[in-house]
C-alpha cells in the first residue's frame, strides 16, 4: 500500500514486522491510501492494494461494499501475509474452501497427523497459528 508523504511505516511493513498478522482499522487503511472519507470505492481500493502487497484479510465482508454499505473508520480487519506459509494456507482454506484443499491445509497444520486430533484440537491449533 502506498503511504502518505512523511509516513515511514505502512500496513504491509507493519504486518511483516509483527510476524505476519495484525488487526487494522478501516481508518488506518483509508488514511494510508490518502483518502479523507470512507466509501464503497475506497473499500474496493483498499482490498486491491492489500492484494497487490501480497496481503490477505478477514473478515472479507468488511471490505466488500455490497455487504458493508456504511463503512466506519473504527471497523477492523485482520491483515495477514499471504506468503504461501502454513498460516496463509489455513486461513485461505477456511475463507475459500472451494478453491483450496482444506484437508491438506489442516493436515499440514497438525504436522501430518490430523487424524489424531479431535475437531476441538484442530480449532485450538488454528487459533494458535492465527495468534502468532
Question: For 102-132, how does the pLDDT look when each residue is reduced to its tens digit (9 = 90+)?
Answer: 877 777 666 655 555 567 767 877 887 777 6
Question: For 15-59, how does the pLDDT look when each residue is reduced to its tens digit (9 = 90+)?
Answer: 999 999 999 999 999 999 999 999 999 999 999 999 999 999 999
Does the pTM surpass 0.85? The reply is no
Per-residue confidence band for 1, with pLDDT thresholds at 50, 70 and 90: low
SS3 category, 55: strand
d(CA 128, CA 59): 18
Task: Write the burial class of residue 57 (CB in 10 Å: 0-12 exposed, 13-18 middle, 19+ buried).
Answer: buried
- Phi, psi (5° rounding) for residue 73? -65, -20
Amino acid at each position: 500500500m502506498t503511504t502518505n508523504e512523511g509516513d515511514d511505516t505502512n500496513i504491509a511493513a507493519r504486518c511483516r514486522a509483527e510476524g505476519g498478522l495484525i488487526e487494522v482499522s478501516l481508518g488506518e487503511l483509508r488514511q494510508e491510501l490518502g483518502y479523507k472519507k470512507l466509501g464503497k470505492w475506497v473499500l474496493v481500493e483498499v482490498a486491491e492494494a492489500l492484494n497487490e502487497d501480497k496481503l490477505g484479510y478477514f473478515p472479507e465482508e468488511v471490505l466488500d461494499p455490497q455487504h458493508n454499505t456504511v463503512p466506519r473508520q473504527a471497523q477492523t480487519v485482520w491483515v495477514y501475509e499471504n506468503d504461501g506459509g502454513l498460516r496463509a494456507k489455513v486461513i485461505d482454506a477456511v475463507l475459500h474452501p472451494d478453491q483450496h484443499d482444506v484437508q491438506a491445509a489442516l493436515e499440514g497444520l497438525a504436522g501430518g497427523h490430523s487424524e489424531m486430533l479431535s475437531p476441538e484440537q484442530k480449532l485450538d491449533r488454528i487459533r494458535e497459528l492465527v495468534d502468532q
